[in-house]
Amino acid sequence: MKNVFRISKLVKPFNKTISIDGDKSLSIRWALLASQAKGKSKSVNLLKSEDVLNTLNCLKLLGIKIKLLNNYCEIVGNGLNGFNYTKKLTLDAGNSGTLARLILGLLVHSKNKITLKGDKSLSRRDFLRVTEPLKNFGAYFKTKKGKLPIIVRGTSYPKPIKYFERKGSAQCKSSVMLAALNTNGSTIIKAKKSRNHTELLFKYLGIPIKIKNKKTYDLIEINGLKKIKPLNYNIPSDISSGAFFLVLTALSKNSKLVIKNININPSRIGILEILKLMGIKIKIKRQKNYKGEKIADILIKSQKNIVPINCPKNLNSYAIDEFLLIFLVAAKAKGISYFKDLSELNQKESPRLIWGSRILNKMGIKTILRKDSIKIFGNPDLKINKTIVIKNFLKDHRVFMASVIAALTFGGNWKIHDKDSINTSFPSFLKIIKKIDKSID
């Protein structure tokens, strides 16, 4: 079968330098904000994955002019609330929670009814988490139990709101921040810590935003109805994609890797903090600032002795997309690792806490899985000699890619279904694997 990736060998020791595709969160945010600016915004290194292409398609249907060439994208925004469409529209967010939740924020001002739909995975995910706060702006949402499809009808005069984001969800926070752009007055958000790309872009664009950083949450105040200037942006590389290769290196024998020019925004590098706590040596070099974000080269080496971790829960949101990989590291640790307060992981493209445990169990690693936590009984001597089949995982791109990393580092005869799921977030994933070890295809 063409869409099944078969692999039954360990990666050979390597010493490589790689570059990673553009960041998904930043690519989607750049496109959505460019659509609200007055004039032409340009980007290079925009991630050309399905989630981002779906973002561009939705914006085109909303009347935004977009030109996408090889490594270059141009968006001509009509200004705030400048969506231009006449008939009833259906927007398809595909697999992307970020697109679906963030664009709903921009639609609180929509003139006509718009239907928002998504694929099978997205249609089982929760949207009440955004429709509830967005309703308070005055918009109307019709949904069955908070799932897609959702019908939105906006209001001509969205009013500012007060909102307490308790999940540590950057998607919920950003959805409300985007809605706030269209209000006359100040929206106040108290948000449990999560990735802060939207805040940094707002600041860079000169949108009136005040932020007070407290220990466990941030207080954000946004004033709406200010003209947004176009944004020329060189999208930094995605640490969540880079993480697959960091863990590949950490778990391989006698290997070294440099990842060039990757985003090390402090709210995204939970993976680096956690790997360091587990005894893995990582160096950051050539750090620089780019329009509010931090970019650097990351150097990492293989590590024989991995230390188990009682993972501090304040790192959860900063490593939210990397836990499948972190669980693989815990599988090789000498002792029991514990990860808690992680119910949000089961709200992802697939129930990832369950899938993390399932992959480890198939590999022969014992776990104790609860609704929001997992204990992993690591085995540094694990060698897999059996066939492992990974399928029916709702085409979750990160389940596919984490399984490939497990196969290349623990051995065994793996059959991993839904290879094309990589196109959601990281189309060049298998090409980079091949660059690291030519014999893998």
Active-site residues, by number, are: 321
CA dihedral 239, 244, 249, 251 (to 10 degrees): 130
CB 128 → ligand S3P: shortest distance, Å? 13
**Among the listed residues 296, 320, 331, 359, the single contact to ligand S3P using CB under 6 A:** 320
Helix (H) or strand (E) holding 376: strand 374-377
Burial class for 151, CB neighbours closer than 10 Å (0-12, 13-18, 19+): middle
- In the sheet where 140-144 sits, what is the strand order? 89-92, 114-117, 147-153, 140-144
Nearer to ligand S3P, 147 or 256 (CB): 147
**Which of 49, 81, 98, 196 is close enough to bind ligand S3P by CB under 6 A?**
98
Cα–Cα distance between 85 and 107 in angstroms, integer? 12
In angstroms, the CA 174 to CA 67 distance is: 25
Which member of 55, 95, 121, 169 binds ligand S3P (CB under 6 A)? 169
Q: How far is the CB of 347 from ligand S3P (least distance, A)?
A: 7
What are the phi and psi torsion angles at 113 (to 5°)?
A: -65, 135
Of 21, 321, 322, 437, the one binding ligand S3P (CB under 6 A) is 321
> Which range of residues in 154-162, 165-173, 303-311, 362-370 is near ligand S3P by CB under 6 A?
165-173
Site membership for ligand S3P, residue 231 (CB under 6 A): no
Residue 281 tokens read as 């040596």
| Strand 233-234 with 5-7, pairing | unpaired
Site track 344-373 with ligand S3P (rule: CB under 6 A), x = hit: x-----------------------------
Q: Give least dist CB 415 to ligand S3P, A.
A: 26
CA dihedral 240, 246, 247, 249 (to 10 degrees): 160
Residue among 329, 285, 282 nearest 307 (CA):
329
Among 35, 54, 174, 241, binds ligand S3P (CB under 6 A): 174
Q: Which of residues 14-43 bind ligand S3P (CB under 6 A)?
A: 25
Question: Which C-beta is closer to ligand S3P: that of 239 or that of 440?
Answer: 239
Q: Are 409 and 398 in contact (CB under 8 A)?
A: no
Exactly one of 20, 91, 170, 432 binds ligand S3P (CB under 6 A); that residue is: 170
421 is a contact residue toward ligand S3P (CB under 6 A): no
Shortest approach of ligand S3P to residue 165 CB, angstroms?
9
Binding site residues, ligand S3P, CB under 6 A: 25, 98, 169-171, 174, 194-195, 320-321, 344
